[in-house]
Structure 1
Amino acid sequence: MPAPDRPTTGRDGTAPPGWPEQVRPPGAPDWERTAIAWLYDLVPPEYRAHEVLRRYPVLLARFAADHVAAGLEAARAGWRTVRVELADELPPEAMEAAMAAYEREGARLAAAARGVEVVGGALRGDRWAPRL
């Protein structure tokens, strides 16, 4: 899904650190719709079948946080163990590519986890004010 045209500020002024670029800032028109769409992009498609998640976006954020945390732990575990478990089955260049892929995926998931935290907070009504 292409990123919506994202204003740089909402009613609060700016989005908090870690705010995903695919989500309009809190207070901007239609920001909740972009937040919900982004959260659904983080979870398995089967989650769309659960009426309770459509009805309560805060719960969707919780499910997304759990799913992203599990993926991040899996990427970290893979990074720690792939050299030992597949050392005899992969050539060195494949092993290095696997390590790089785990690192990229870990960074992506860590950023998603930060994003879910701030988006979930905004859905719960938390407001952020930039520090001067």
Structure 2
Amino acid sequence: MAWLLELVPPEYRRYGVFRRYPPTLVRMARQHVEACVTAAREGFRTARVDLGESVPPHGVEALLEVYRREGTRLAALAEAIKLVEAALREQSPSPSPGPSTPAP
């Protein structure tokens, strides 16, 4: 739980639902990290065009290296979160079916 809370914005710590129901925190962490991966990819693709006139080439290259490193880190986090999510699914009991009615 503590690790997952470190992956989401700090404001999320205010919501008790995440502590009561770990799958809710896993879901939010997965979505948050996946959105960060998407943003890093977009930033990488557009950095040269967006910053070409205001940042020297070596500055843009340095930024692209940050995107590469962060992209790799974020992708690994996304995979780790998926493993935690799968483990929680295996660990939690399946909801029991409702009461069965006898056949007529």
TM-score, L = length of structure 2: 0.84
Aligned counterpart, 2:56: 91
Structure 2 unmatched ranges of 5 or more: 92-104
Partner AA of 1:98 in structure 2: L
Aligned counterpart, 2:9: 44
Shift of 1:60: 0.4
Structure 1 unmatched ranges of 5 or more: 1-35, 127-132
For 2:6 and 2:90, how far apart are their aligned partners in 1? 22
Counting only pairs closer than 5 Å after superposition, residues 1-132 of structure 1 correspond to structure 2 as: 36-125=1-90
User: Matched residue pairs, number?
Assistant: 91
For 1:86 and 1:70, how far apart are their aligned partners in 2? 22
Percentage identity across paired residues of the two chains: 52
- Root-mean-square deviation (CA), in Å? 0.9
Q: Deviation per CA, 1:38-65, whole angstroms, max 9, x where unpaired?
A: 1111000111111111101111000000
Instruction: Kindly name which structure, 1 or 2, has the bigger radius of gyration based on alpha carbons.
Output: 2
TM-score, L = length of structure 1: 0.67
Of Structure 1 and Structure 2, the greater helix share is in 2
